[in-house]
Amino acid sequence: MAEFTMELSDEQKEVRDWLHGFAADVIRPAAAEWDEREETPWPVIQEAAKVGIYSLDFYAQQYFDPTGLGIPMAMEELFWGDAGIALSIVGTGLAAVGVLANGTEEQIGTWIPQMYGDADDVKVAAFCSSEPDAGSDVASMRTRAVYDEAKDEWVLNGTKTWATNGGIANVHVVVAVVDPELGSKGHASFIVPPNTPGLSQGQKFKKHGIRASHTAEVVLDNVRVPGSCLLGGKEKLDARLARAREKAKKGGERVKNAAMATFEASRPAVGAMAVGTARAAYEVALEYAQTRQQFGRPIIDNQGVAFQLADMRTSIDAARLLVWRASWMAINGKPFTAAEGSMSKLFASETAKKVTAQAVQILGGNGYTREYPVERMHRDSAIYTIFEGTSEIQRLVIARTLAGMPIR
C-alpha cells in the first residue's frame, strides 16, 4: 500500500507538466471556438490521441497509479485548459470505469480498446444510466433488459438521457433493470457493440456550459446483445440477485448496484475536474487583479479584492486535498466510512461554482464578456454540482453514511 503524500514523484511531475503543456498549447486556444460551435472537437481529440493522452494505455497508467493521484492530477490539468473540450477527451473514461468496475478480464480486454480506437481513427464511448424520470432516483429506472434464453441474448428497451457521447459512441455501456422487484439492486450493466440495430440518438441537448461535449438521449428499441455483453457474466448476476432477494426477505441490507459502483469510483475524478476549472479562473482573476489599475494602484491592493483571492486559493487547495485523499483511499482499498468520495466531489464542485463567480466579479464588466475566459468557466462550473450526483445527493450520501443508514 502506498503511503499518502502530498509530494508528487519526479515521474508524476513530468506527466503533470506534459499535460499542462497540452492543455495550454492545444486545448485552451481552441476553447472559445468549440464552445461557440457546440460540437465535439474531433481534431483536438485526435491530437490528444496522437500524443498518447487519449488512449487506453495512458488511462490505465493513471488509473492504476499506486498513489491514486494519477487520475485526479490528469483531470485537473486537462480541465484547467477547458472543461468542455476536456470532457470530450475524458468522457470515454466513465464508460471504461463502468467496464473496469463490473466486467470480466475478457470483457475489459475486448471492449475498452474499441472505446478509444487509435490515433488514425479515434472513437468515443458512452455510459448510459440517467433517464427522463430517473436521474438521482436510480431506483425509478425503467429501461428493461430481458434474457432470451433460447438465443442467449439480452433484449434492451428504454430511453436514456444526459449521456455524454450518447449516440455518437462506438461502444455504449447501458444500465438496465433485470429484476424490477429489487429496485436499484435489480440493475445490471450491458455492452452495446458498435452498429447494433435498435440503438439510436434521440435529442441532442443545447447546454449552458461544457458545450464542446456532446450530450444526448439514447433510444433503445428492441436492442439485442449477446449474453457475453452482460458485464460480469450471468452466473455472477444470478448470484448477486439471489443474495439481494434473500437480504430483502430479512429486512434488506445494502447491495451495491452497477451504476453506483461506477459513480463511487468516479466521484473523486469529477472533484478533480472542478478543481482544474476553479484553479483556471483563480489564475485569471489573480493576474487581472495584479495588472488592472484603478485609483492609481492595482486592484489587488484593495482589501475587498485581495481577501476574495485569499479565500479562492484556500478553497481550491482544500478541495484538492479532499480529492487526493479520496483517490488514495480508493486505490488502496480503504473503505469510504464517511463517504469521503462524495465529500470530495461535493466540496470541489461547490468550490468551482463559487470561485468562478468570484473571478467574474473581480474582472467586473470584463468578466461578463466573452473576451475573457472566466465567463465560460463560470458557465462550465455549474455542471459539477449536477452530474454524477447532485450536491444534494452527495449530502444525502454523506449524512446516511455517517448515520449508518443504507444508501439506496
131 three-state secondary structure:
strand
> Which residue, among 76, 115, 110, has the nearest Cα to 94 in the 3D structure?
115
State the amino acid at position 116 in one-letter form.
Y
- For the chain, how far is it from start to end, CA to CA, in angstroms? 30
CB atoms near residue 217 (< 10 Å): 21
Our measurement of the distance from residue 387's CA atom to the centroid of its chain's CA atoms, rounded to an integer in Å, reads: 8
175 three-state secondary structure:
strand
Phi, psi of 286 (to 5 degrees): -65, -50
DSSP 8-state assignment for residue 295 = T
List 131, 264, 340, 388, catalytic entry:
388
Q: How far is CA 289 from CA 8, 80, 366, in A?
A: 30, 19, 12
How many helices (H) does the chain have, and how many strands (E)? 14, 11
Kindly tell me the burial class for residue 331, based on how many C-beta atoms sit within 10 Å of its own C-beta (0-12, 13-18, 19 or more): buried
Q: How far is CA 225 from CA 152, 160, 167, 189, 220, in A?
A: 9, 17, 16, 12, 11
Kindly tell me the burial class for residue 94, based on how many C-beta atoms sit within 10 Å of its own C-beta (0-12, 13-18, 19 or more): buried
Structural element, H or E, at residue 343:
helix 340-363
Q: Residue 300 is placed in which grid cell?
A: 489587488
Q: How far is CA 190 from CA 98, 100, 114, 264, 274, in A?
A: 10, 13, 15, 18, 29
155 three-state secondary structure:
strand
CA distance 147 to 227: 8
Whether 305 contacts 289, CB under 8 Å: yes
388 is catalytic: yes
Active-site residue numbers? 388
